Amino acid sequence: MLNYFNILLCCILIITFFSLNNCQDNSSPPALLCPNTTSYSPNSTYSSNLNALLSSLSSNSSRPNGFYNTTVGDHAGSELVYGLFLCRGDVSTNVCQNCVSTAAKDVTSESYCPNGKVAALWVDECLIRYSNESLFGTPTRYTFVNTQSVSEPQRFTSVLGNVMDELLANVAANVNGNGSNRSLKIFATKEANYTAFQRVYTFAQCIPDVSVSSCENCLRTAIGNLPSDGRRGSRVLLPSCNVRYELYPFYNVPASAPPPVRDAPPPFSPGSTGRDRGGIASGVIVAIVVPIVASVLLFIFGFCWRRRRASRERNVAEDADDISTVESLQYHLNTIRAATSNFSSENKIGEGGFGVVYKGKLPDGQEIAVKRLSRSSGQGVEEFKNEIVLIAKLQHRNLVRLLGYCLEGDEKILVYE
């Protein structure tokens, strides 16, 4: 009888462990690069070339190696568009295809990077990039860092450094293992315990067709640019490789088999009546096990429901805080007029389908970029404030920082650093 209850206890613990893991929401927000230093008009040649490039990336997203790069436009002209996608090495072809198709539609939307000639959108399963300059001809590097820090940064940095050394060795072995076939996926993953209850998950990947030395050099550079102050997560993107770490499994972690149960009961021998020598019938055991398992599953369901409800309420509260913060960033129209010499044509530095951009200088000497939205855009006051909240959420040290806004009469103005 004791052996049966040992088995029951192990089953309940295993069910509870996997159910609680499924309750966690491990999705992370996309990492966006949209410098907006150069823009294009909606009906320009660059716009047509960009649409053709994004369509080409989507149509080639079923490639088995999860990578594709191309160029669209007249090489004799100045409106060339360079682009690529790279899917995470552990995802299937179907997941890669869906991710690239969705990212190609989203990257030029109002919520991400409208009218920008340079953009990179990095979601969990794939990366998509385009630019008016060659993506491999310039040593560009983009770093995305989690704003939160761990409780023991020194210990965490030491653990992360050791894991990254092993990760680099694993990727190098993967490249060497491919031999002369450079069309295969080149990536590796590695996990390690940071505390007794927390693990750090790392991922590194090189693009196909890269040489062994180029892959190793690229990854060493990427790892060297990871933060060393105990941030909870970071991504580094280079032309030929990328590195990422998080405190949650953002890739497909292989499931390990549960340990064998000791002292398992022997199988029934021929002629068994279904009752062991202790005198307890199998029907009684079933009657005990089923209610206990049902109670555990009901408890897990209730726990997950309450946790997700609390998460939604917390997100609503955070949105309210964001709106109140944005309200405090409002500039007076007279201040903006003085900074731009009343929107003089001499201060005009760009124009797109959604308005004109002027350079200016505030009374304290700070130089600013003023985006004066078109009055014919049809955007309402609430829509404008919602856009400001969205831009504020997407702030990053590699992006142009939003300083504030102006909303007076028909004027809708964004003030950038």
Look at residue 261 and tell me whether its pLDDT is greater than 50: no
In Å, what is the CA distance from 12 to each residue of 24, 148, 290?
Answer: 19, 35, 11
Looking up tokens 């295809």 gives: 97
CA distance 138 to 141: 9
For the segment(s) 31-137, the CATH number from 3.90.1150.10, 3.30.430.20, 3.40.50.620, 1.20.810.10 is 3.30.430.20
CA distance 82 to 109: 19
84 phi, psi to nearest 5 deg = -160, 160
Q: How does residue 24 score in pLDDT terms, banded at 50, 70 and 90?
A: very low
The per-residue pLDDT for range 119-148, each reduced to its tens digit, is 999 998 999 999 988 888 667 888 999 999
Contacts of 128 (CB under 8 A, 6+ apart): 57, 83, 84, 85, 100, 103, 104, 107, 120, 121
Q: Per 3-state DSSP, what percentage of the chain is helix, strand, and coil (rounded to 5)?
A: 40, 25, 40
For the segment(s) 144-246, the CATH number from 3.20.20.140, 3.30.420.40, 3.40.50.2300, 3.30.430.20 is 3.30.430.20
Residue 293, number of CB atoms within 10 A of its CB: 14
Q: Please tell me the CATH code under which domain 333-416 is placed.
A: 3.30.200.20
Q: How does residue 108 score in pLDDT terms, banded at 50, 70 and 90?
A: very high
In the prediction, which pLDDT does 276 show? 41
CA distance 207 to 215: 8
Structure tokens that stand for 385 in this block = 């404030």
Structure tokens that stand for 312 in this block = 């939604």
Residue 225, number of CB atoms within 10 A of its CB: 16
| 72 vs 353: which has the higher pLDDT | 72
CA distance 232 to 368: 32
Q: Quote the percentage of the chain above a pLDDT of 70.
A: 74
Find the Cα–Cα–Cα–Cα dihedral 100, 101, 107, 110, rounded to 10°. -150
The per-residue pLDDT for range 278-321, each reduced to its tens digit, is 444 556 666 677 788 888 888 888 888 888 777 766 655 555 45
CA distance 233 to 146: 5
Return mean pLDDT, the chain.
79
Contacts of 143 (CB under 8 A, 6+ apart): 225, 226, 227, 234, 235, 236, 237, 397, 398
Looking up tokens 């539609």 gives: 105
The amino acid sitting at 255 is A
Structure tokens that stand for 336 in this block = 């903006």
| 18 vs 334: which has the higher pLDDT | 334
CA distance 54 to 71: 10
Q: How does residue 269 score in pLDDT terms, banded at 50, 70 and 90?
A: very low
75: left (phi over 0), alpha (psi -120 to 50) or beta: alpha
| 358 vs 1: which has the higher pLDDT | 358
Contacts of 262 (CB under 8 A, 6+ apart): 6
Look at residue 14 and tell me whether its pLDDT is greater than 80: no
In the prediction, which pLDDT does 249 show? 92
In the prediction, which pLDDT does 316 show? 52
Let me know if 358 is exposed, middle or buried by CB neighbors in 10 A (0-12, 13-18, 19+): buried
Structure tokens that stand for 408 in this block = 């007076």
In the prediction, which pLDDT does 279 show? 46
